[in-house]
């Protein structure tokens, strides 16, 4: 859906929320699959791709580099092609585009110019660009906008990076590595890499595409040179988007089932299940879905979200409604996401009268009576997960408005419609 300029009134639940929800496909899986389909040379397809801004940005980026890509509903088709060419790439605010596409662009025959939204220009890029330079790429610039001069191939080899700011730096290099002359060995040297499940997802998908990846040594990933198989991908539901619907059951004492929940998944979103259990919820698989039943009273949690940082806005919203204090740890890297999510969450919870404190790597949230301030909507900060966190708080706190619910279009087409349908 398009962006909206007027505040959106968050539905208020007058009774426990109960229902069954189907969520769109995973943005993280989708954009990896589309890029791998393009690097395979085609023909290949991706089914279950959500019609989101991030998906469109990845498709348009590849089209800009000469890849024949068509979109039919939730199916993306890459036709057979001879390789990448130069062009202009708009990254928008999609981390998967700004970190995953430049290594592929190093294989292009021609100059590729990258830019994006104003906030995207503030997001860290130097790590992946310096790594590409070390592997033989010619690049002007250290952040958006920058220009990469491709020559049709890249030597590759061994590179050491500090990926403590984003797992996407590792994934971006690995996704194109098999197409480099020598492959790539990536060593990480620094604080622990956040969101490691996202790297596990990348490795698993590369192996599904026939790529030889050795991740047996901690903080080291070796990708052998070779072809990337052209195949048809099927995208599972986005479990991080699903988390806010399960959390609706938690905060209202209701019962919500997300349909199509996979039996096994490398998505970090599966991490919401033990966190909701810690809040006091009952979590149980049910048929082809996952069901959460909320408790009479939410208890606070003390959780390290380092590996599942994208769940922090949802967890913080639930914590703000709990009866005892919570501590969210291990997410200092969120200051470099779509917005500084730690500062943003602290500001928005405090604006409701919440008792919240920023820590160096997270938040401490204590029980307080929350009320919606007149004339001040919940700030989305152009961040889809901040927007959905505001919707979640609005279930319990009447009168909440979200200033930019259209930000949810980044990963969830018509989130407002699905949310209203659940709340009833």
Q: What is the CATH number of the domain that holds 322?
A: 3.65.10.10
Provide the mean pLDDT of the chain.
96
| Structural domain boundaries, residue 298 | 8-25+237-423
CB contact set of 57 (below 8 Å; sequence gap of 6+): 90, 91, 92, 94, 97
Half-sphere exposure of 38 (CA within 13 A, CB side): 31
Together in a domain, 385 and 262: yes
Together in a domain, 92 and 190: yes
Q: Is 404 within a domain?
A: yes
Give residue-wise pLDDT tens across range 408-423: 999 999 999 999 999 9
Q: Is 1 within a domain?
A: no
Which of 185, 204, 234 finishes a domain?
234
Is 167 annotated in some ligand binding site?
yes
Which of 211, 234, 257 finishes a domain?
234
Give residue-wise pLDDT tens across range 15-67: 999 999 999 999 999 999 999 999 999 999 999 999 999 999 999 999 999 99
Residue 5: pLDDT band (50, 70, 90) is low
Together in a domain, 187 and 247: no
CB 291 within 8 A of CB 285: yes
Q: Is 2 within a domain?
A: no
Is 153 annotated in some ligand binding site?
no
Together in a domain, 142 and 209: yes
Q: Give the model's pLDDT for residue 170.
A: 98
Buried b vs exposed e over 317-354: b needs ≥16 C-beta within 10 Å? bbbbbbeeebbbbbbbbbebbbbbbbebbbebbebbeb
pLDDT of 4 over the 80 cut: no
Together in a domain, 136 and 191: yes
Is 26 annotated in some ligand binding site?
no
Point out which residues pair with 259 in neighbouring strands.
289
Torsion of the alpha carbons at 60, 65, 67 and 71, rounded to the nearest 10: 0
Mean of pLDDT values over 336-355: 93
Number of domain units in the chain: 2
Which of 213, 234, 255 finishes a domain?
234
pLDDT of 158 over the 80 cut: yes
Point out which residues pair with 362 in neighbouring strands.
359
Tokens representing residue 289 in the block = 């879905």
Is 166 annotated in some ligand binding site?
yes
Q: Give the model's pLDDT for residue 3.
A: 45
CB 147 within 8 A of CB 195: no
CB 267 within 8 A of CB 292: no
pLDDT of 72 over the 50 cut: yes
Together in a domain, 244 and 175: no
Q: What percent of the chain has pLDDT over 70?
A: 99
Three-class DSSP category at 279:
coil
The span from the CA of 289 to the CA of 22, in Å, is: 9
Is 133 annotated in some ligand binding site?
no
Indicate which residues carry an active-site annotation: 310
Residue 2: pLDDT band (50, 70, 90) is very low
Together in a domain, 280 and 297: yes
Together in a domain, 356 and 230: no
Q: Give the model's pLDDT for residue 1.
A: 34
Together in a domain, 77 and 209: yes
pLDDT of 141 over the 80 cut: yes
Q: Is 98 within a domain?
A: yes
Q: Is 85 within a domain?
A: yes
Q: Is 273 within a domain?
A: yes
Together in a domain, 31 and 114: yes
Task: Read off φ and ψ for residue 66, nearest 5 degrees.
Answer: 85, 10
Give residue-wise pLDDT tens across range 80-132: 999 999 999 999 999 999 999 999 999 999 999 999 999 999 998 999 999 99
Together in a domain, 93 and 80: yes
Give residue-wise pLDDT tens across range 224-259: 999 999 999 999 999 999 999 999 999 999 999 999
Other C-beta atoms closer than 10 Å to the C-beta of 164 total 17
Together in a domain, 34 and 102: yes
Is 182 annotated in some ligand binding site?
no
């Amino acid at each position: 859906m398009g962006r909206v300029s007027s505040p959106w009134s968050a539905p208020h639940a007058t009774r426990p929320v109960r229902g069954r929800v189907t969520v769109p496909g995973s943005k993280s899986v989708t954009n990896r699959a589309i890029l791998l389909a393009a690097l395979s040379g085609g023909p290949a397809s991706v089914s279950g791709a959500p019609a989101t801004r991030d998906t469109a940005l990845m498709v348009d980026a590849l089209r800009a580099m000469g890849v024949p890509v068509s979109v039919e509903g939730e199916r993306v088709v890459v036709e057979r092609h001879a390789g990448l060419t130069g062009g202009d790439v708009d990254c928008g605010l999609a981390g998967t585009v700004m970190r995953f596409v430049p290594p592929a662009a190093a294989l292009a025959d021609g100059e590729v110019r990258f830019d994006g939204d104003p906030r995207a220009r503030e997001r860290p890029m130097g790590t992946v660009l310096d790594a590409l330079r070390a592997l033989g790429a010619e690049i002007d610039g250290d952040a958006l906008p920058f220009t990469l001069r491709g020559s049709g191939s890249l030597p590759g080899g061994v590179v050491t990076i500090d990926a403590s700011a984003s797992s996407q730096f590792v994934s971006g290099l690995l996704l194109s590595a098999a197409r480099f002359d020598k492959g790539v060995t990536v060593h990480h040297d620094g604080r622990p890499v956040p969101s490691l499940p996202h790297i596990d997802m990348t490795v698993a998908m590369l192996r599904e595409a026939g790529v030889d990846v050795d991740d047996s040594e901690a903080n080291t990933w070796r990708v052998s040179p070779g072809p990337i198989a052209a195949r048809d991908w099927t995208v599972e539901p986005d479990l991080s988007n699903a988390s806010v619907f399960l959390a609706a059951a938690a905060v209202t004492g209701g019962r919500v089932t997300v349909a199509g929940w996979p039996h096994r998944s490398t998505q970090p979103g599966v991490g919401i299940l033990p966190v909701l259990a810690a809040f006091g919820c009952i979590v149980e698989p049910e048929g082809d879905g996952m069901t959460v039943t909320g408790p009479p009273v939410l208890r606070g949690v003390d959780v390290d979200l380092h590996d599942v940082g994208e769940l922090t806005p949802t967890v913080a919203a639930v914590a703000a409604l709990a009866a005892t204090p919570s501590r969210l740890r291990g997410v200092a890297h969120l200051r470099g996401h779509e917005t500084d999510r730690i500062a943003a969450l602290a500001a928005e919870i405090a604006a409701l009268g919440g008792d919240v404190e920023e820590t160096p790597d997270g938040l401490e949230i204590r029980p307080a009576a929350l009320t919606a301030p007149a004339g001040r909507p919940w700030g989305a900060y152009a961040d889809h997960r901040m927007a959905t966190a505001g919707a979640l708080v609005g279930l319990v706190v009447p009168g909440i408005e979200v200033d930019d619910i259209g930000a949810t279009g980044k990963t969830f087409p018509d989130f407002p419609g699905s949310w209203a349908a659940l709340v009833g």
